[in-house]
Chain A
Amino acid sequence: MLAEKALELIAELQRTIDSTLGPYNEDTARHVLEEMKALFEQNQKDVSATVAGENGLFSGVQLRHAALERNKRCLLAYIYNRLQHIKKMRWEFGSVLPSDVKLNLGEQEVQWFGKYNKMLANYMRSIGDHGGLDLTQDLKPPKTLFIEVRCLMDHGEFETQDGNIILLKKNSQHFLLRSECEHLIRQGVLEHIVHG
């Protein structure tokens, strides 16, 4: 069937989109491009034959053209949806991706992530009064200045804004500035303890 490989890409995306991103499927993408090239060449041949006077080739051209369009759509959707996911990762993982996640990105995707990172940083620096505004902070409206946290893993030393060094060791408990530990909570290093 036509455009089958392209559909594979989409189906694969659909399977993995809810968890983490799978590896960029360069192989299948190349297959799709090859199929498109073959379709295009066949169409050109038929078109020049028609110009030369042959009849009845139009239906085939129409069909192949539809397949070309379909392939293009699938490829673009594949890339576009992956980019959306990578963009989201910047907000969820932070500016540095875990190495195994990064390994799944294609070369251009890594570049794109880097550029997005830089743009976001530049933008955040340009807004707000004093040296910018961190948009990744306070995603939920804060209720208290300080919060109680528990350490979920051995994370090593952590330097607070006032220069203190705190050792984040598994199962130790701390009372810290909310703004300082929000990122660590989102990264799963700390657990926020709320008293009901």
Chain B
Amino acid sequence: MTSENVDDYFSISDILTTQERLPCKVELPIYRLGYLDTSSTSDDLQPGTKLDLSFWMARALCSRKRHIVSVEMPRPYREGYREILTADANVVDLHKLGPYYYSYGVTVTECFQTRIRKIMDSSQNAYNEDTTKLTEKLDETEKCLFKAGQIGLNDFQRWETRQTEKLTTSEMVRSHRKRKRALMDDS
């Protein structure tokens, strides 16, 4: 994901993913950027200061050549959590751990594997149901997968009942109307 090809460079979700913060420790002094550490009033960032930096910032400061900061493994991905996930991955509220859990830490693939079964199952069988209960505990990637499954299911049903031939109002026009009506109702 960090490889910045064209797709990812403009990708909104990738930008948001790389905004997630990592616990870091400053190794070399960084002058005149002390304001990044809200807990101190010093002008500079002194070695040994611990602070959370965004992924994109940490990455720039922590290359093989130069070790300006050192990065710790974020908590949700450490041993302890990984044990919980192996025990029963399905019950964990991933959204609370971070809305971009997977793309942020692709390391925990077993967890993903276990959960994907249930997600796929429910996305293929929840027809005409309220799915908010099902989706609220999912991470963004999982939500995408669930949605894709649902779209497939609905399209199949529509095809079976011959509704695919029906021409419909464009999605944009529809939501534009809805918004307009809501505005009219408010005023």
Q: Are B162 and A196 touching (Cβ within 8 A)?
A: yes
* Size of B's binding interface in residues, CB under 8 A: 42
**At the interface, yes or no: B12 with Cβ under 8 Å from chain A?**
yes
B residues 59-107 with Cβ under 8 Å of A? 59-61, 66, 68
- Which of A20, A56, A80 has a CB less than 8 Å from the CB of B31? A56
Q: Are A182 and B176 touching (Cβ within 8 A)?
A: no
CB neighbours of B174 from chain A (8 A): 188
A6–B114 Cα distance when bound, in Å, is 37
Q: Are B172 and A11 touching (Cβ within 8 A)?
A: no
Q: Are A20 and B57 touching (Cβ within 8 A)?
A: no
| Chain B residues at the A interface, C-beta cutoff of 8 Å | 9-13, 15-16, 19, 28-33, 36, 54, 56-57, 59-61, 66, 68, 161-177, 179-180
CB neighbours of A1 from chain B (8 A): 36, 54
CB neighbours of B12 from chain A (8 A): 10, 13-14, 17, 77, 81
* Size of A's binding interface in residues, CB under 8 A: 52
**Top 9 A-B pairs ranked by shortest CB distance?**
A66-B60, A92-B170, A188-B169, A92-B172, A192-B167, A59-B30, A194-B166, A80-B10, A185-B167
Q: 16 A-B pairs, CB-CB below 8 angstroms?
A: A14-B12, A56-B29, A59-B28, A60-B30, A60-B32, A62-B61, A63-B30, A73-B15, A92-B173, A140-B167, A186-B167, A186-B168, A187-B170, A188-B169, A192-B168, A194-B165
Q: Are A147 and B30 touching (Cβ within 8 A)?
A: no
Q: Are A2 and B36 touching (Cβ within 8 A)?
A: yes
- Which of A59, A77, A80, A98 has a CB less than 8 Å from the CB of B61? A59
Q: How far is the CB of A148 from chain B (nearest CB, A)?
A: 11
- Which of A11, A63, A100 has a CB less than 8 Å from the CB of B57? A63
Q: Are A101 and B176 touching (Cβ within 8 A)?
A: yes
Q: How far is the CB of A77 from chain B (nearest CB, A)?
A: 5
| Chain A residues at the B interface, C-beta cutoff of 8 Å | 1-2, 7, 10-11, 13-14, 17-20, 42, 56-60, 62-67, 69-70, 73-74, 76-77, 80-81, 88-89, 91-93, 98, 100-101, 140, 143, 147, 178, 182, 185-188, 191-192, 194, 196
Q: How far is the CB of B27 from chain A (nearest CB, A)?
A: 9
CB neighbours of A147 from chain B (8 A): 167
- Which of A13, A80, A101, A185 has a CB less than 8 Å from the CB of B169? A185
CB neighbours of B161 from chain A (8 A): 196
Q: Are A10 and B15 touching (Cβ within 8 A)?
A: yes
A92–B166 Cα distance when bound, in Å, is 16
State whether A182 and B167 are in contact (beta carbons under 8 Å apart), knowing that A76-B10, A92-B172, A188-B173 are contacts in the complex: yes
Residue of B nearest to A188 (CB): B169
CB neighbours of A98 from chain B (8 A): 176
Q: How far is the CB of A22 from chain B (nearest CB, A)?
A: 11
CB neighbours of B175 from chain A (8 A): 18-20
Most B-side CB within 10 Å, residue of A42, A69, A186:
A186
